Amino acid sequence: MAQFETQVGIVGAGPSGLMLSQLLHLAGIHSIVLEVRSRHYCEGRVRAGVLEHTSVTMLRNAGVGQRLDREGLQHAGIEIGIQGVLHRIPFEELTGKCVTVYGQQEVVKDLIARRLADGGDLRFECGEVSLENIEQGRPLIRVRKDGVEDEVHCDFIAGCDGYHGVARPSIPSQALNVYERLYPFAWLGILAEAAPSREELVYMHHERGFALYSMRSPHITRLYLQCKPDEDIAEWSDDRIWSELNARLSCEDGWRPTEGKILQKGVTGMRSFVVEPLQYGQLFLAGDAAHIVPPTGAKGMNLAFADVHYLARALRARYEENKDEGLDAYSATCLKRVWRAQRFSWWMTSLLHRFEHEPAFDRKRQLAELEYLTSSRAAAMSLAENYVGLPLEGA
Ligand code: APR
Ligand code: PHB
């Protein structure tokens, strides 16, 4: 058995764990990141791809903005489609801000490279992780692999291990309130070798179900189809996928997505989920470990970054000035933003998807809301300010 010492033990090397470890490093605080998967797996996992301007600033300030600035695609708006007719929501004109399209896996690659170049302690394929003494005393993370047990002793633990991680279940269930909503659909997502043929993302409401046209680079498009929650991907041949994408995305003006080789496909479930509070003793939850949003509002990675921004700031005040106010307020500070993002993501999801068994009244109301959104500057402004990202408190 080996024993290790650190100030902050971080469980999980996704966007939240990696960014936290980088922000702490810049503040002179030592951390060890424990990740169950391989580096290759973490860097290859295809996830979300839209960064709010606050996330872009955070990445730049953290010293990981170079490739993002070179390769990220700045978008000054999105298009909302209703049955093949497109309406633009001009973010920059309405809010003065843009978003940047840059894949989460690229963010993860950049953060891993930076941490390793700076001598950061990232442990991939670390084995089975369990947390001890989180309520009082000095917490420790126990790691078991191939019959060998290591102990990482820390002042604080950050649970950045996503929805299926061990951090949240380490908290007694009676200490947490869980708020959850499931949706009666999922997204079938593909990555295609095809040059984007539209400048901006298209969120299409269609009788056959929602479809999203997105992209990753000047050569790669990312597309999604609303599907059944238990959709079997094996039933979706490439031809069937393109035919359905064409049926839903083809526009009145003659545009339809350019087809190409499908590089990757998968089904992503949809849920809204929050636990409160985000702290238990010396354990702090961040990112998907604490909350999940449906992907329609493109908020997942951005919320994860906001959490660790507040957590790093609070830990810095703790170590530099011996002040605990930031840590004490961490949960409440994050939850304010989390609930705003939850509301927005739920609203975008409810607005754009087809709800098969809804009463006729709700269908009519939904169409009226889409019509309102695409014809009122005030309604477009509300979408725009939430999509580009609300300002960080006290930043
Ligand atoms: N021990 C160590 N690591 C773990 C464990 C465990 N028991 N369980 C899970 N992990 C790792 C996962 O392998 C993953 O690499 O924790 C990491 C969590 O990363 P994410 O799920 O990406 O969560 P987070 O960093 O909070 O980022 C949130 O991810 O799911 C997207 O849309 C979401 O963009 C958002 C972002
Ligand atoms: C993506 O490009 O993967 C993407 C874009 C916008 C979303 C969700 C996902 O709302």
DSSP string for 324-346: -HHHHHHHHHHHHHHHHHHHHHH
Of the pLDDT bands very low, low, confident and very high (cuts 50, 70, 90), residue 136 is confident
pLDDT given for residue 214 in this prediction: 97
pLDDT at 394 over 80: no
β-bridge partners, 89: 78
Catalytic residue flag (residue 295): yes
| Contact of 3 with 153, CB cutoff 8 Å | yes
| pLDDT tens by residue, 95-122 | 999 999 999 999 999 999 999 999 999 9
pLDDT given for residue 395 in this prediction: 61
Catalytic residue flag (residue 310): no
Catalytic residue flag (residue 372): no
Distance from Cα 178 to the centre of ligand 1, integer Å: 19
Q: Is 15 in the pocket of ligand 1 (CB under 6 A)?
A: yes
Counted residue by residue, the chain has a size of 395
Of the pLDDT bands very low, low, confident and very high (cuts 50, 70, 90), residue 243 is very high
Distance from Cα 165 to the centre of ligand 1, integer Å: 7
| pLDDT tens by residue, 340-385 | 999 999 999 999 999 999 999 999 999 999 999 999 999 999 999 9
| Contact of 68 with 59, CB cutoff 8 Å | yes
SS3 per-residue string spanning 109-145: HHHHHHHHHCCCEEECCCCEEEEECCCCCCCEEEEEE
The bound ligand whose nearest atom lies closest to the alpha carbon of 271 is 1
pTM of the model: 0.97
**Token reading at 14:** 């996704």
Q: DSSP letters along 274-329, please?
A: EEE-SEETTEEE-GGGTEE--GGG--HHHHHHHHHHHHHHHHHHHHHH---HHHHH
**382 φ, ψ to 5°?**
-65, -45
| pLDDT tens by residue, 176-223 | 999 999 999 999 999 999 999 999 999 999 999 999 999 999 999 999
